[in-house]
Amino acid sequence: MSMEQDVTMDITAASGTAIAPAARAVEVIGTDLTERSLRRYLEGIAGVDAVGLEARAAGLGTRSIKKESKAWALDKVISLIDLTTLEGADTPGKVRSLAAKAKVPDANDLSTPQVAAVCVYGDMVPYAVTALGAAHAGARSDGGGVNVAAVATAFPSGRASRSVKLADTVDAVAAGADEIDMVIDRGAFLSGRYGQVFDEIVAVKEACKRVDGSYAHLKVILETGELSTYDNVRRASWLAILAGGDFIKTSTGKVSPAATLPVTLSMLEVVRDWHRLTGEQVGVKPAGGIRTSKDAIKYLVTVAETVGEEWLQPHLFRFGASSLLNDVLLQRQKLATGHYSGSSYVTID
């Protein structure tokens, strides 16, 4: 896209049809969408009071859950987890094992809720879909079940051509992925090339289209650990939502720091402001580093206090985690039996 070329023209030339996110962005920004107008809008967003943000996050992190509510909170956390394996050594067998745990997190207590999704690399999607079977959300008509999420767009670095990123997305959706977790080009964002990042998100969103005309949900990973400042996190959040992201996600889990409470609070505030502006609901997914039920409950409180309890549903909030589930299961067993079980009482992911 040239410096002054209308983004909608660029997208129309690529896809042959007008793209709704571009039209929505024009409506929100209030002028033709160009690199200059997009930059002016994003850089005009009020800066973040870092001291105030961190103080509020710290205060929310001290809120306690009453004993009678803890069982509800633990079950809620489980229902919001994207059970994840994103290793180079992943095998079909490991994915099948993960899917089995997603369906039945605790074989000794079948009242334990299922997780929200299994998150894998794109080439592992067919194994996850098959292993979930009737539990796969795509195989059900009741709106329940476990989704399959696939990381795409040259995860985790995002360093690939756009054609490769789009092919990565198309392949995962064709294989049965219900959700796509894409990474933004952090180099382009940090260089101020907001139009390039916008265009890419819109193009990936279009690549999420299924043959029946529906779309896989798109989670846009900001990799907040590389964005360095809360102001950048806020701008990147607005940019991702303007471009049509269904979720904004903190991290790949491969960069430190990953999810933090202040960063997640900042993103939730953007989602709150977007909802007030447009009436639309966008999801938030903190990912990486959330390992204990105690920490997870802090996030539940932060969500409820910032955007409302309505967001505590799988289509609006997720935890990206691999080890969190085991700790929550042990805490759940403690509530049921009155004593802590050893780690051998939960399966190794």
Element spanning 168, H or E: helix 162-174
Q: Do 137 and 167 touch, CB atoms closer than 8 A?
A: no
Dist CA 228 CA 19 (whole Å): 31
Q: Do 225 and 259 touch, CB atoms closer than 8 A?
A: no
Closest CA relative to residue 293, chosen from 13, 19, 73, 68: 73
Half-sphere exposure of 223 (CA within 13 A, CB side): 17
- Asked if 285 is an active-site residue, the reply is yes
Name the 3-class secondary structure at 291: coil
Q: Do 229 and 260 touch, CB atoms closer than 8 A?
A: no
Among 10, 168, 181, 199, the one annotated catalytic: 181
The tokens of 303 are what?
A: 């969500």
Among 185, 249, 295, 327, the one annotated catalytic: 249
Q: How many residues appear in the chain? A: 349
Q: What are phi and psi of 151, to 5 degrees?
A: -80, 145
Among 10, 285, 298, 327, the one annotated catalytic: 285
Element spanning 285, H or E: strand 283-285
Dist CA 264 CA 270 (whole Å): 10
Closest CA relative to residue 184, chosen from 156, 164, 206, 208: 156
Query: In this structure, how many other beta carbons lie within 10 angstroms of the beta carbon of residue 50?
Result: 13
Q: Do 247 and 285 touch, CB atoms closer than 8 A?
A: yes
Residues whose CB falls within 8 Å of the CB of residue 316, separated by 6 or more in sequence, listed in order: 281, 282, 283, 284, 310
- Asked if 165 is an active-site residue, the reply is no
Catalytic center residues? 181, 249, 285
